[in-house]
Amino acid sequence: MSITIIKNGTLIDGQGGEPVAGGAVAYDGSKIVFVGLQKELPSFDGEIAEIDAEEGFILPGFIDSHVHVMMEYGPIESTLSTPFSYNFYKSISYLKDTLYAGVTTVRDCAGADLGLKKAIEDGLVEGPRLQVSIMALTTTGGHGDSYTTSGQYVGLMQNPYPGMPNGVCDGVEEVRKKVREMLRAGADVIKVHATGGVLSPTDHPEFTQFSIEELKVMVEEAKFRKGLKVMAHAQGTEGVKNAVRAGVHSIEHGIYLDDEAIDLMIEHGTYLVPTLLAPVAVMEIAENGGMPAWAVAKATEVINVHKESIEKAYKAGVKIAMGTDAGVMKHGTNLRELYLMTEIGMTPMEAIVATTKTAAECLGWEDHIGTLEAGKLADIVITKTNPLDDIKSLSDTTNIMIVVKDGKVVKNFSAV
């Protein structure tokens, strides 16, 4: 055995219980073998290594349920003039920044492929564990169809390079084939744009895209062929309801939620991934002149109603998993989302559970990650500050002292 013991810290295990002062975690290789009071540590045989938490706070690795690791929003002229392969090299820094923020697992919601996932798994690239959707399914002219009136395609959402399927499809049979193409390309989850969005010039967040029949086919194909789930970019009320009724696993964004939509989500056990940071980031980018006027107008329109909808859903008891839409904003700033979640009424502890336990459940990986428990993977974060007293402090990555992923220390600011 080669045991590593983290001690001299306060445990926040991701399950929502009271913090445990004088706590410790021990792991053997990539697996946790002990979580509890330091004074109750068992005796271990073999080589022992120790990490001093320096009276910091020991938490599970954080999970972001909605990112785009292959992009960061920039001016359209820059996107048009950049060779696509260059995006892979830029993603190396995006992934590292995310990991160093304490985010050890992400669900990529269009853009990352199986090769990037494998590069991380094989240690060629340093980054969080990836769950990939390959490309998002979208209707012709809908959110995610990157076609412009100039005849050019802008962005990563449509056939960016040979061998990677684009996501545009119309009608039940086209949809069926497109899901199969995503599964063939290695998708861990199917992503669909059920409504329009803020960052698309030809639609509106309230516009409904796919029919409920098309959405049902996506869910059936994903479930029966590979046992996978479907996540839906769904901002407008009717699009949200269609997605939930069709059996979609998680609603992304959820800007316009009425009582019926919320009741349906509770009835079906549907997860909500709010991405409160996304419209905030659009407004921030606009201040520097880097955002089209149509996007600014839509972000201005939705920012307050978005908060109101998420607050209503939270109070009603909808399951909420943290997600940011990173790529709209800079990667590595993911934990800003936690403070925004407290602004709609969640306690700091509830926000932490949303980015640990609940997010792991949303991804279907709760048996391996999300909480500090014996038998789970050693994804561990040590923070300098107490996030329960100051959740906003996690936005400053210098407060993320140590990050352990799969039992390997990938960041150690305490040693600097």
pLDDT (tens, 9 = 90+) of the chain, 416 residues, equals: 689 999 999 999 999 999 999 999 999 999 999 999 999 999 998 889 999 999 999 999 999 999 999 999 876 667 767 888 888 999 999 999 999 999 999 999 999 999 999 999 999 999 999 999 999 999 998 888 866 544 445 554 545 566 688 899 999 999 999 999 999 999 999 999 999 887 776 777 888 999 999 999 999 999 999 999 999 999 999 999 999 999 999 999 999 999 999 999 999 999 999 999 999 988 888 777 667 787 778 788 888 999 999 999 999 999 999 999 999 999 999 999 999 999 999 999 999 999 999 999 999 999 999 999 999 999 999 999 999 999 999 999 999 999 999 999 999 987 54
CATH level 2 (architecture), domain 2-61+370-415: Roll (2.30)
Look up residue 100 and give its amino acid: Y
Distance (Å, rounded) from C-alpha 373 to C-alpha 389?
24
Distance (Å, rounded) from C-alpha 227 to C-alpha 366?
16
User: According to CATH, where is 3.20.20.140 located in the chain?
Assistant: 62-363
Q: Name the residues annotated as catalytic.
A: 191, 325
User: According to CATH, where is 2.30.40.10 located in the chain?
Assistant: 2-61+370-415
Helices marked H in 147-206? 172-184
Q: Which residues of 4-27 are buried (b: 16+ CB within 10 A; e: fewer)?
A: bbbbbbbbbbbebeebbeebbbbb
Predicted TM-score of the model (pTM): 0.95
Residues constituting the chain: 416
Look at residues 345, 348, 320, 344 and name the one whose alpha carbon lies nearest to residue 335: 348
Look at residues 247, 266, 131 and name the one whose alpha carbon lies nearest to residue 194: 247
Q: Which fold has domain 62-363?
A: TIM Barrel (3.20.20)
Report whether 143 contacts 200 (CB < 8 A). yes
Distance of CA 23 to the CA centre of its chain: 28
Report whether 183 contacts 222 (CB < 8 A). yes
Distance (Å, rounded) from C-alpha 19 to C-alpha 34?
16
